[in-house]
């Protein structure tokens, strides 16, 4: 038996790949689905929509999710599953601020501890975990000038992405340039500007799998609460719970209306693309 990870007392299944004779170097021929592993080993029984997200095979995933849907729990589960089942993987968590990346990083750390995984710091990054199988998880704050330098990233997760600057996206996207890694971008909408808005609406990004996870689809959020929120603050209700990109109060025209008015069949009025 591999001795680098303990079996949880209440689980009948090992959280690491049972078929791998050496957890440091071997990758199992068949990796269990994230949702099945989460239910059997972690005790996280995902609802149908969460299962669809957890098991999504796409290399680019964007989660437009309401508050309290469980997106952080899904991301932490996906990260732990990847780190355990794919030795020597490099996983990066990025966010607009140190607190956000720290919160998701803490969820991952606590999950691994619950499973009995012994981790240590990489000795370089404040928020870092190194597993005995060589996998590394690093949480990075919003600092485009200091996050550069990572390569060979297997899984990149951007949390609270609607608050992230374009500079952060430009700085971290090259992490995936040569690794063919997976990228998760997740957030609740915030207005009709920013990279999260652009990624969600850009139809040319055809390999992106988009999930809109609204509060009325979440079995854990009662209808009475949503009705209350709709009355107290309608604008926040539609944006934070129904995942709509709403125009800011200072915006004269809704951006989506302007987009629908655009027609490439006509020449620009002023010429020169204006």
CATH number, domain of 122, equals 3.40.50.300
Read off the pLDDT of residues 123-164 as tens digits, 9 standing for 90 and up. 988 899 999 999 999 998 766 666 777 889 999 999 999 998
Give a yes or no: residue 116 inside a domain: yes
Give a yes or no: residue 20 inside a domain: no
**Judging by DSSP bridges, how do beta strands 155-158 and 90-94 pair with one another?**
parallel
Q: What pLDDT band is residue 183 in, cutting at 50, 70 and 90?
A: very high
- Return d(Cα 38, Cα 220) in angstroms, integer: 18
Give a yes or no: residue 94 inside a domain: yes
Give a yes or no: residue 166 inside a domain: yes
Give a yes or no: residue 246 inside a domain: no
Read off the pLDDT of residues 208-257 as tens digits, 9 standing for 90 and up. 999 999 999 999 999 999 999 999 999 899 999 999 999 865 444 454 54
Give a yes or no: residue 169 inside a domain: yes
- Return d(Cα 113, Cα 131) in angstroms, integer: 11
Selected residue with higher pLDDT from 19 and 157: 157
Give a yes or no: residue 262 inside a domain: no
Read off the pLDDT of residues 67-97 as tens digits, 9 standing for 90 and up. 999 999 999 999 999 999 999 999 999 988 6
Contacts of 147 (CB under 8 A, 6+ apart): 94, 140, 141, 168, 171, 172
Four-residue CA torsion sign, 20, 25, 29, 33: positive
Selected residue with higher pLDDT from 143 and 57: 57
Q: What confidence score (pLDDT) does residue 30 get?
A: 82
Q: Into how many domains does the chain fold?
A: 1
Selected residue with higher pLDDT from 126 and 41: 41
128 close to 90: Cβ distance less than 8 angstroms: no
Edge to edge, what strands does the sheet with 182-187 contain? 127-130, 136-140, 90-94, 155-158, 182-187, 60-65, 208-213
Q: What confidence score (pLDDT) does residue 2 get?
A: 41
Which pair of structure tokens corresponds to residue 47?
């609802």
Over range 10-39, report the average pLDDT. Answer: 65
3-state secondary structure of 185: strand
What does the mean pLDDT of the chain come to? Answer: 84
Give a yes or no: residue 106 inside a domain: yes
Which domain, by its residues, includes 145?
Answer: 48-214
């Amino acid at each position: 038996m591999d001795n680098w990870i303990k079996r949880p007392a209440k689980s009948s299944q090992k959280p690491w790949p049972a078929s791998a004779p050496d957890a440091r170097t071997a990758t199992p021929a068949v990796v269990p689905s994230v949702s099945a592993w989460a239910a059997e080993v972690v005790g996280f029984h995902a609802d149908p929509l969460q299962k669809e997200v957890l098991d999504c095979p796409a290399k680019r995933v964007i989660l437009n999710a309401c508050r309290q849907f469980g997106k952080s729990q899904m991301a932490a589960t996906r990260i732990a599953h990847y780190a355990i089942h794919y030795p020597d993987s490099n996983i990066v968590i990025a966010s607009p601020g140190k607190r956000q990346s720290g919160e998701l990083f803490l969820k991952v750390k606590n999950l691994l501890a619950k499973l009995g995984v012994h981790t240590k710091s990489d000795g370089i990054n404040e928020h870092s975990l190194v597993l005995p199988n060589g996998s590394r998880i690093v949480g990075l704050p919003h600092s485009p000038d200091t996050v550069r330098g990572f390569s060979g990233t297997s899984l990149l997760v951007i949390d609270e992405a609607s608050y992230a600057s374009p500079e952060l996206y430009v700085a971290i996207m090259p992490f995936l340039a040569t690794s063919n890694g997976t990228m998760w971008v997740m957030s609740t909408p915030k207005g009709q500007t920013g990279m999260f808005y652009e990624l969600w609406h850009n139809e040319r990004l055809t390999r992106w799998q988009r999930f809109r996870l609204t509060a009325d689809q979440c079995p854990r959020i009662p209808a009475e609460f949503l009705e209350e929120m709709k009355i107290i603050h309608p604008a926040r209700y539609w944006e934070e719970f129904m995942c709509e990109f709403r125009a800011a109060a200072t915006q004269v025209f809704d951006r989506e209306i302007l987009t629908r008015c655009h027609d490439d069949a006509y020449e620009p009025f002023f010429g020169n693309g204006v």
